[in-house]
Amino acid sequence: MSARDEILARIRTALGPAPAAGPVPRRYSVRGAHEPGDPALLDLLADRLQDYRATVRRCSPSALGATVPAALAAHGARRVVVPAGVDAGWLTFWDGEELRDGPDGTLPVATLDAVDGVVTGCAVAIAETGTLALDGSPACGRRAVTLVPDLHVVVVRADQVVASVPEGLARLDPQRPITLVSGPSATSDIELDRVEGVHGPRRLEVVLVAAGPAAG
Amino acid sequence: MSATFPGTPGVPPRATERGTLRGARPFPAAAAASLHDGQLRRNLGHATATIRAKRAAVVAELPDWQHLRDAGAAIKADVMARLPQLLAELERNVTARGGVVHWARDADEANRIVVDLVQDVGRRTGTPVDQVVKVKSMATQEIGLNEALADAGIQAVETDLAELIVQLGNDTPSHILVPAIHRNRAEIREIFLREMPDVDPGLTDEPRVLAMAARAHLRRTFLAARVAISGANVGVAATGTLGVVESEGNGRMCLTLPDTLITVMGIEKVVPTWRDLEVFLQLLPRSATGERMNPYTTFWTGVTPGDGPQDVHLVLLDNGRTAALADEVGRAALHCIRCSACLNVCPVYERAGGHAYGSVYPGPIGAVLTPQLAGMRGHKDPVDSLPFASSLCGACYDACPVKIDIPSLLVHLRARHVEQERARRRTPTPEAAAMAAAAWVMGSGPRFAAAERGLAVGRLLARDGRISTPLPFPLSRWTAARDLPAPPPETFRAWWRRTRGGDR
């Protein structure tokens, strides 16, 4: 008997005839208190991210082309990687070097290791947990691009910000490679005390883009 | 196939001996050593107190925490009931996306599969692979994979900071989540100075500085790695998606950069749907590191062209899990999501430390999982001592994010141990004899009254209401480790007769 068939047979024997479990009670909250993009959610997301020692900048869509370069300059970045799908307008006022990754050619790991940072969008952001989801779409780039460089600048649009983990996961397609990022890389391995900055990007800059406050 | 447990026909075989489930000494003997290690107790006390406070704070943030626990428990019960079809579904979907699924009955078979896969990469590319990078994984610890790889001339580099500390210190893990919890910063600094060839000799013991040293030490290894080996926190049957939850980014490095990725996952880690993760991604980080969310979680589904490993394998591991499943009560231990919350709240773990359990799975969950995976052989088997390594205070049950009733499982396994001993021995154990005598005494009113009168003698031995003097054998077996309360001056029956009892 193959290992597969034997293990499956063992399980059936172990369970006995007609094993059944009741339905899964889902009484937990699936939707948060606020609709996606609500200003209260943007505040919550910013608070959670800062708690993880990420830096948060907020700007209007028209100021993005200056805010992203400012985030890069704050860390002295000169050479950055940008996935092919990133809007060129994000880097309007960037005077450093910009390396595009994809769609036709990808940068070798050594190049990713030598650049100062990377600028990407995200697929969805979860306010309650301060989580940014990357899904390999053109604006997020492939996984290595957001992993090897030491500085990651993520642009988050207001309409991408949801309240809860269930809302966030519902927006993601598990057939894509997904990375959930909640702050810069960190460890709690020494005396269960959290310190930021190990193997992943040690600095996380989040640019939150929302139209100016509504009149009234 | 290894032999089934004697006397239990139809029960699937337990885990093979290769691996790290069975300790060398029974728990009381192993714990006695660690209890005398003041440094260890300070390290553990500090670390578990820190994490308990953090966990309590982030759990209190979620008003629906109990509902999440209910859902988590129900999903796991449903998974166990439908395990064959869910595993077949997972296999189908991983395969459809270009992954290769392997099945391993036990540790030896899993190790053989992984070693073959690594060597196969060498054959295919013409350059042998002599080093692989690893993401922290309980399953590969359990099967002793690193040792099997070493036997084949392949070095396994642990990349998780705590695993690295354990590996460099030539040590064994003592905690599910933080294997080096027994080490403090000064000890870690010593290990790094001794074992990292290119480390800065001016290294301080500041955690940030130590983390930077680990980053520098592993950076080139990551960028050059050809094969990575991981565990998985979860596998989604409906989509074929595997997930790893981590903090440092070492997991992302392993899961992203090498061309070959081999994942070893226990068969109980499957969940039905992607939606189920909305429960576990809330329960796990808050229970484990006391964070709202862990820094990084990676999900991958087979092969994604142009992004990440292009040669992707999944090894589904039994190694005693089906034997645990055969026990209708005990199978709940398979619901465990390896968060370690039960270790951090356990008064026994906090004092004895993880090494005392002798298993890769220590603490309360280890005390119920290890005997079921490895089997209890009776009498002096160290595994038989594990269900007794508890005060049954119940803190573990309260902390468990999937509501595993660990105290009840402990009692269940204690009973099984007693029954197996009774079946195995011709003469009763001293404990069984004592219990039989107690049953005889308590079974009759006059006999019990006579015994109560005899207790008054015990008062002669008491000081300040306690009996601390060792009693003669066989009572010494009890008093060697415990004080006894002094018998009261008057028995309940005497009191009853003297007061209201006589009026009725």
Q: Which residues in chain A land under pLDDT 50?
A: 214-216
Non-local (6+) Cβ contacts of B100 within 8 A are B94, B312, B313, B314
Could you tell me if B41 and B82 lie in one domain? no
Of A7, A102, A185, the CB nearest to B322: A7
**pLDDT at site B504:** 58
Residues of B in contact with A105 (CB under 8 A): none
Residues of A in contact with B334 (CB under 8 A): none
Number of domains making up chain A: 1
Query: Which amino acid, one-letter code, is at B213?
Result: A
Whichever domain contains A120, its CATH number is 3.40.50.10420
Q: Are B110 and B145 in contact (CB under 8 A)?
A: yes
Task: For residue B266, give the H/E element and its range.
Answer: strand B260-266
Residue A170 resides in a domain? yes
Task: For residue B161, give the H/E element and its range.
Answer: helix B161-168
Q: Are B104 and B113 in contact (CB under 8 A)?
A: yes
Residue A184 resides in a domain? yes
Band of pLDDT at residue B503, cut at 50, 70 and 90: low
Residue B15 resides in a domain? no
Domain that holds residue B392: 27-49+327-424
Determine the distance in angstroms separating the CA of B136 from the nearest CA of chain A, rounded to an integer. Answer: 12
**pLDDT at site B473:** 76
Which residue from A minimizes the CA distance to B105?
Answer: A3
Could you tell me if B357 and B386 lie in one domain? yes
Whichever domain contains B124, its CATH number is 3.40.50.10420
Q: Is the pLDDT at B8 greater than 80, yes or no? A: no
Query: Which amino acid, one-letter code, is at A172?
Result: L
**pLDDT at site A214:** 43
Could you tell me if B338 and B458 lie in one domain? no
**Cβ–Cβ below 8 Å for A6 and B1:** yes
Distance CA A6, CA B473 (A): 50
Chain centre to alpha carbon of residue A176: 14
Could you tell me if B134 and B204 lie in one domain? yes
**pLDDT at site B9:** 54
**Cβ–Cβ below 8 Å for A174 and B256:** no
Could you tell me if B310 and B335 lie in one domain? no
Residues of A in contact with B304 (CB under 8 A): 136, 176-177
Instruction: State the CB neighbour count (10 A cutoff) for residue B305.
Output: 7
Residue A215 resides in a domain? no
Which one, of B76, B122, B97, lies nearest residue B314 by Cα? B97
**Cβ–Cβ below 8 Å for A186 and B161:** no
Could you tell me if B84 and B212 lie in one domain? yes
Mean pLDDT of B343-372: 97
Which of the listed residues B424, B458, B488 is the one where a domain comes to its end? B424
Residue B373 resides in a domain? yes
Distance CA B277, CA A38 (A): 25
Query: How does pLDDT run across B83-119, given as a tens digit for each residue?
Result: 999 999 999 999 999 999 999 999 999 999 999 999 9
Could you tell me if B332 and B299 lie in one domain? no
How many Cβ pairs within 8 Å bridge chains A and B?
263
Could you tell me if B233 and B380 lie in one domain? no
Whichever domain contains B380, its CATH number is 1.10.1060
Residue B271 resides in a domain? yes
Could you tell me if B394 and B445 lie in one domain? no
Query: How does pLDDT run across B214-272, given as a tens digit for each residue?
Result: 999 999 999 999 999 999 999 999 999 999 999 999 999 999 999 999 999 999 999 99
Non-local (6+) Cβ contacts of B423 within 8 A are B7
Could you tell me if B103 and B187 lie in one domain? yes
Q: Is the pLDDT at B478 greater than 80, yes or no? A: no
Band of pLDDT at residue B501, cut at 50, 70 and 90: low
Q: Are B278 and B47 in contact (CB under 8 A)?
A: no
Q: Please, how many CA atoms are within 13 Å of residue B258, restricted to the half-sphere of its CB?
A: 30
Instruction: Quote helix, strand, coil % in chain B, to nearest 5.
Output: 55, 10, 35
Higher pLDDT, B430 or B405: B405
Mean pLDDT of B447-473: 79
**pLDDT at site B78:** 96
Which residue from A minimizes the CA distance to B225?
Answer: A109
**pLDDT at site B3:** 41
Residues of A in contact with B298 (CB under 8 A): 143, 177-180
User: Beta-strand (E) ranges in chain A?
Assistant: 55-59, 79-83, 97-101, 117-120, 124-126, 131-134, 151-157, 161-162, 178-181, 186-190, 193-196, 203-209
Residues of A in contact with B57 (CB under 8 A): none
**pLDDT at site A53:** 95
Going by the DSSP 8-state scheme, the letter that residue A164 receives in this structure is: S
Q: Is the pLDDT at B1 greater than 50, yes or no? A: no
Burial of B320 (0-12, 13-18, 19+ CB in 10 A): buried
Could you tell me if B313 and B337 lie in one domain? no
Which of the listed residues B404, B424, B444 is the one where a domain comes to its end? B424
Residue B493 resides in a domain? yes
Burial of B225 (0-12, 13-18, 19+ CB in 10 A): buried
Residue B16 resides in a domain? no
Determine which of B128-142, B403-417, B490-504 has the lowest per-residue pLDDT on average: B490-504
Band of pLDDT at residue B502, cut at 50, 70 and 90: low
Q: Are B316 and B267 in contact (CB under 8 A)?
A: yes
Could you tell me if B35 and B169 lie in one domain? no
**Cβ–Cβ below 8 Å for A180 and B296:** yes
Task: For residue B466, give the H/E element and its range.
Answer: strand B466-467
Number of domains making up chain B: 3
Which one, of A129, A130, A154, lies nearest residue A140 by Cα? A154
**pLDDT at site B487:** 83
Domain that holds residue A114: 32-209
